[in-house]
Chains A and B, each alone.
Chain A
Amino acid sequence: MIEVRGLGVTFPGTPAPVLRSVDLDVRPGEQVLVLAGSGAGKSTLLRVLAGIVPQVVDAEVTGVARVAGLDATTTPTADLAAHVGTLTQDPTDQLCLPTVLDEVAFALENRGVDPGLIGPAVHRTLASVGAAHLAGRRTAELSGGEGQRVALAAALVADPQVLLLDEPTALLDPAAARGVARAVRGAVGDGRATVMVEHRLDELGHLPARVLVLGPDGRVRADGPTERVLHDDARSLAGMGTWLPLSAELTAAGVGSLERLTVDPVPTSVPGVRVLSARGLSVRRGQRTVLDGVDLDVHAGRVTAVVGLNGSGKSSLLLALAGLLPAGGTVTGGSVGLVFQHPEHQFLARSVHDELAWGPHRARLPDVDERVSAGLDDYRLRGLEDRDPFRLSGGQQRRLSLGAMAVCGHDVLLADEPTFGQDRRTSAACADALRRLADEGRGVVLVTHDLRLVGEVADDVLLLRAGHPLALGPVDDVLADDALLSRAGLPLPAVLAASRTTGHPVRAVLRALRTATLPAPVRA
Chain B
Amino acid sequence: MTALGQALPHDSVLHRRNPTVKLAVFFVVSVVVLVPVDPWTPLALLVVAAPAVVHAGRIPWPTLGRAALLFGPFAFSLLAVNAVTRDGPVVAEVLGLEVTRTGLTVGVALALRTVLVGTLAVAFTLTTDGARLMTSLHQHARLGARPTFAVLAGYRVLEDLPGRWTTIRQAQSVRDPRHRRGTLPRDPGSLSRAAFALLVVALRQGERMAIAMETRGLGSGPRTVHRPVALDRRDAVFAALVLGVCLLVVLVTWRAGLLRTWSTV
Contact = CB atoms under 8 A, between A and B. Distances in A.
Contacts of A82: 217, 220
Given A97-B156, A119-B226, A345 B178 contact: no
Given A337-B174, A346-B172, A78 B160 contact: no
B242 interface: no
B187 interface: no
Main secondary structure of the interface of A (DSSP, over half): mixed
Interface residues of A, number: 73
B174 A345 contact: no
A96 B156 CA distance: 6
A243 interface: no
B213 to A, nearest CB: 5
Nearest to B220: A78
Given A140-B156, A345-B167, A346-B175, A158 B217 contact: yes
Interface stretch (B45-53, B57-65, B200-208): B200-208
A303 interface: no
A76 B171 contact: no
B155, B193, B210, B223, most chain A CB atoms within 10 A: B223
A113 B224 contact: yes
User: Among the interface residues B153, B156, B212, B222, which one has the most CB atoms of the partner chain A within 10 A?
Assistant: B212
A52 B214 contact: yes
Contact of A109 (B172, B214, B226): B226
B177 interface: yes
A84 interface: yes
A92 B226 contact: no
A96 B182 CA distance: 35
Contacts of A51: 215
B112 to A, nearest CB: 36
B177 A363 contact: yes
A81 B217 contact: yes
B160 to A, nearest CB: 7
B216 interface: yes
Contacts of A88: 208, 212
A362 interface: yes
Interface of B: 5, 130-131, 145, 149, 152-153, 155-156, 159-160, 164, 167-168, 170-182, 184, 193, 197, 200-201, 205, 208-228
Interface of A: 50-52, 56-57, 76-79, 81-82, 84-86, 88, 90, 92-99, 101-102, 105-115, 118-119, 122, 139-140, 154-155, 158, 319, 322-326, 331, 335-338, 340, 342, 344-348, 358-360, 362-363, 390, 404-405, 408, 410
